[in-house]
Amino acid sequence: MHDTPEHAARGLDISRRWAHVTGTTGRFIQFNFTVADPDLTVELVMPYAAFNEFCITNEASRTVDPNAKTAFERLKWLFKDADGSIEDMNGQAFQKREVLK
């Protein structure tokens, strides 16, 4: 993708990244990953540990859709991550943690 005057005019800050959990399937996390602008969003599915590593590596702020919260909390518990590294629904920053092995 090439930088265009339109993108430059919008002042895209590619350091701004979000991972918004939209659901779970088995041991997989379904989420939207956004870079700089909602127009730059991709839907992804990953195992929990890979999702955790992906968010840390990409320094993504994390949120959970209210409809996915219970299933996501259950999945975190399965991976012994019950204290969580996910941003709470009030927008508090997530804790960066070591990736689960």
Please give the Cα distance from 29 to 9 (Å, whole number). Answer: 34
Indicate whether this model's pTM tops 0.75.
no
Residue 52 φ then ψ, to 5°? -60, -50
The DSSP element (H or E) to which 26 belongs, if any, is none
Edge-to-edge strand list for the sheet holding 41-47: 41-47, 28-35, 17-25, 61-64
pLDDT digits (tens, 9 = 90+) for 21-44: 999 998 899 999 999 999 999 999
pLDDT over 70, % of the chain: 69
3-state secondary structure of 27: coil
